[in-house]
Amino acid sequence: MFSVSGAALPPSHANAQEIYVPRFWDPKRRPEKPNLGRMTQIRFMTEDDFPPFHFRGPNGLPIGFNIDLARAICEELALACTVQVRRFDTLLPALDQGAGDAVIASIAITPETRAKADFTDRYYRTPARFAAKKDSPLKDISPELIAGKSVAVVAGSAHEAYLRTFFAETAIKSLPDMAAVLSAVKSGEADLAFADGIALAVWLNGADSANCCAFRGGPFTESRYFGEGVGIAVRKGNDTLVRALNYALYRLWERGVFTDLYLRYFPVGFY
């Protein structure tokens, strides 16, 4: 049983042939299902202000990619599950205090978060991507191909640092926020935008972009700049639950469930 199992998925606007779906599981290292012992349920915690991963639906219940992934994990393990919503900054302290068993809230795996919790294998990471107007002659991206081109990027971001290191010959337009970056590429003030691939994918698929633009090149996944990825956080020392979640994540990939969820929530894939 899952407390938000009635939440509906958004309609799918794409299929597997049109979108590359990332895979983080090695088919040669298939995990075995652990003995769950007396485990009868998983108490997931999340927050509700990061669409399309987790947000409040029309009925007030949490919905989103992470919520439906948690539901699928519960079904795979044949366990009852609940989801409680908390402020993002309270999730890991609440986990440590035993208020829940696992956090599925797009928490990045970093040295800082590893010090507070154990993590499953990553199930997604946020690549950096370039976007350009659809009529742009640019079809691919390399330092040589876009030398001299203007690239809008958020000032002070990891994306700006990456550009200055690897695309130093571009005309970097450092702008105050993501809205300004998107406006610059949409209006033609910049030849390209360089930003978080998920944020770009959501914008490209939304009304605000007016179907102006598309991804070019990439993805760029240098972990020194863009992180290791995202996993499910578990209270330190709960190795049985970590193994169970890793087994379930692998099985969901193997059976195509993960792909179905990705295509439903990301009709413009961020890879």
Regarding the domain with residue range 128-226, which homologous superfamily does it belong to in the CATH classification?
A: Periplasmic binding protein-like II (3.40.190.10)
Q: What HEC string does 205-231 produce?
A: HCHHHCCCEEEEEEEECCHHHHCCCEC
What pLDDT is attached to residue 13? Answer: 36
Mean pLDDT of the chain: 90
CA 123/CA 258 separation, integer angstroms: 9
User: Token digits for 93?
Assistant: 């302290």
Do the two domains 41-125+229-265 and 128-226 of this chain adopt the same fold? yes
What pLDDT is attached to residue 21? Answer: 84
The CATH number of 41-125+229-265, from 2.30.29.30, 3.10.50.40, 3.30.360.10, 3.40.190.10, is 3.40.190.10
| pLDDT tens digit sequence for 6-24 | 233 333 333 334 678 888 8
Determine if the pTM surpasses 0.85. no
State what percent of residues in the chain have pLDDT above 90: 81
Q: Per-domain residue ranges for the chain?
A: 41-125+229-265, 128-226
